[in-house]
Every structure is written in structure tokens, then in C-alpha cells.
Amino acid sequence: METPFASGPAELFARIDNAAIDNAASAASEGVLFAKLDQAINWARKNSIWPMSFGLACCAIEMMSMSASRFDIARFGAEVFRGSPRQSDLMIIAGRVSNKMAPVIRHLYQQMPEPKWAISMGACATSTGVFNNYALVPVNQVIPIDVYVPGCPPRPEQLIHALMLLQRKIQAESGTTKNVLNL
């Protein structure tokens, strides 16, 4: 792997998102029954996403707004913000990721049970944004990201759109049943 832009311990920048390759291999041997079961499980999963209560900077205010009455993320079944990573399946990176916070974010992500997803919210999380300096690191060097949301800050509607894209991704996943049954 190339040397990352930001400096820090090597293990911090080692990729941990090779699960997609395993997923693709298991999907190749899917039968009709498993494919239908996959669709049912994926449907249940995509409509019951539990985000973690976790904010890093100003973007988190827009994230909170998304869960409040004006935008009401309950319409998408994702309003149950959990206080523990062990009860969450979505991490929304809402704000800039500093070198100091990066190991904490990875630790929390690893404490989340499978299946789990992550949204990078805002320019700072995705590319360090206007704070392009030695103290920050793009979040995809720390954890695998499923959906990126542009903007500074993104509006709550944009985050809802990201959630809808994530739902589409979850619905399209294959090999779900085999993964659940450890086959």
C-alpha cells in the first residue's frame, strides 16, 4: 500500500474492507431459495438500520436535525440511535477525523457486530475538507465507507438520500443467508 498522506502508525492505515471479495465468492453459488431468503433478510435489514450516537464536529448538528421532527428519519426506520457500538449497525462519520480520533473510530467500528455499514458525512470526513493539514486523515483510511455525502455541511436531506442509497445497497447484497447461517 502507498504511504498515506497523513502520518501515523502503519496499522491505522491497513485496509480492513476485503469482506466484499468474500461476499462475491459466496454469491456465485447462490440457489433460487437462498436468493429469495436473501431478499427477505435484506428487506428487513434495510428498514431497521440502527445508527450509533456519534458525532465529531459541526456536521453532527445536521445529523441530529435529520433525526428530529422536521426531517424525521423514522420514516426510513433508522431513528433508533444507539448509545453503544454493540447495538449499532451504522456509523455516520459526521465531522473531521483527527489522527488522535482515528484509532478510537476504528476501535468503535470493530466493536459493532456484523453486518455493519458506514457513511462519510461532509467534506471533512471524506477528504479533510478545508482543514487540509497534518492533523486530519480521510476516514476511508481508517474504516471502510459505503456512502459518501458531499457538502459543508451537507443538509439533512442529503444525509437522508445517503441513507436511501445505503438501503439500496443492502437490498442488493447477495450471499446474506449463507453468511447468517455460516455456510
Q: Which residues bind ligand SF4 (CB under 6 A)?
A: 57-59, 95-96, 122-124, 129, 152-153
| Rounded-to-integer distance, Cα 20 and Cα 2, Å | 21
Instruction: Give the residue with the Cβ less far from ligand SF4, 85 or 95.
Output: 95
Instruction: Give the residue with the Cβ less far from ligand SF4, 25 or 152.
Output: 152
In angstroms, give the least distance from the CB of 66 to ligand SF4. 13
Q: 174 and 44 in contact (C-beta within 8 Å)?
A: no
* Beta partners for residue 117, in sequence order: 90
In angstroms, give the least distance from the CB of 41 to ligand SF4. 34
Beta strands in 13-151 (DSSP E): 90-94, 117-121, 147-149
In angstroms, give the least distance from the CB of 58 to ligand SF4. 3
| Rounded-to-integer distance, Cα 24 and Cα 181, Å | 16
Instruction: Give the residue with the Cβ less far from ligand SF4, 59 or 90.
Output: 59
Q: 143 and 91 in contact (C-beta within 8 Å)?
A: yes
In angstroms, give the least distance from the CB of 59 to ligand SF4. 3
